Structure 1
Amino acid sequence: MAIPFNRYLVTFERHGRVIARESVTAPRESDALVAAARRHADISLNDGTVKVGAIVTGSQKKLPDLKHRKG
């Protein structure tokens, strides 16, 4: 069964200013955050001043519910 993927816009902020943005396709928000962090390895996430957030910007059409399938 195929996994639905969402499109996320991941932003990295420091002191209220956006320092990087990344558009990522992933099944979950946590996967999108990890993928974006790997692409921006130069930004230290151990720094307490860096905030990372993600918002859904689009999603793939959902598959039909298989519970109600006959046969």
Structure 2
Amino acid sequence: MTKTSEYMNQKEAMNYLGFSSVYALYEMVNNGLPYYVVGKSKRYSKRAIDEFMDQHKVSKTAKRETAVVK
């Protein structure tokens, strides 16, 4: 097992999350995942990814609110 640094490039972040498509990572960024720009590259924080995932956790027992359309 390799050690993951705190700051990862796009490919490392995708691997950390288990994504095969960059579009899933872009969707997380569009939903508030922060990143850092270093020169021309983006860096993603492992801690920020973990916090983002915790904040967007959905429980099976959670009630979903539905809008009633009349």
**Common fold, TM-score beyond 0.5?**
no
Return the structure number with greater helix share.
2
More strand by share: 1
Q: Which has the higher contact order (CA 8 A, sep 6+)?
A: 1
Report the TM-score when normalising by structure 2: 0.27
Normalising by structure 1, what TM-score? 0.27
